[in-house]
Amino acid sequence: MNEVRAVVWATIQKEFSDLNDVEQVTQVCLRLMVAIILGAVLGYERELRGTAAGLRTHMLVALGSALFVLVPLQTGMEVSDLSRVLQGVVAGIGFLGAGAIIKLSEDREVKGLTTAASVWLTAAIGVAAGMGREATAVLSTCLALFILLLSHHGSKQVKFDE
């Protein structure tokens, strides 16, 4: 019986050995947390606007995108070979974004394009964070937030009579 326990324990240790040292744990945690936080920033802005894809959606998209590139890099995949992974992420996010777009046939109006674009961009930001390009991810988030806030303020009429 002790032999079986030893085999089971050794197997469990082997299966959870992908993060061998403090440096790897820190790197993975940092990249995933940066993706989550940046996704939250964009998701919060979208949530304030009452859009279909809000805080949780953007956080999950950023986390998932980061994970899709982080794991292959951990296993030793060359950056040049990640193109297939990225193609899959972009295509999958396209379907998710399409779900945020609503066509109102009565008004001949299309809604949700900005939200779909923000989900798509959030995936790209997650990819950047997952690949260890945190500064690029932060800069992209700042630019996206600027665009979202600028476009929101530009669509309202401002009164100057006070």
Q: Which amino acid is at 87?
A: Q
Task: Give the model confidence (pLDDT) of 41-53 as tens digits.
Answer: 999 999 988 887 8
Other CB atoms within 10 A of residue 131 CB: 19
pLDDT for residue 96: 80
Region 77-93: mean pLDDT is: 86
Task: State the pLDDT confidence band at 67, using cuts at 50, 70 and 90.
Answer: very high
> In the chain, where are the structural domains located?
26-33+41-153
C-alpha–C-alpha distance, residues 125 and 39, integer Å: 8
Q: Mean pLDDT over residues 64-83, rounded?
A: 90
Model confidence at 158, in pLDDT bands (50, 70, 90)?
Answer: very low
Dihedral, 65, 70, 72, 76 alpha carbons, nearest 10: 160
pLDDT in tens, 140-155: 999 999 999 887 655 5
Q: Is the pLDDT of residue 136 over 90?
A: yes
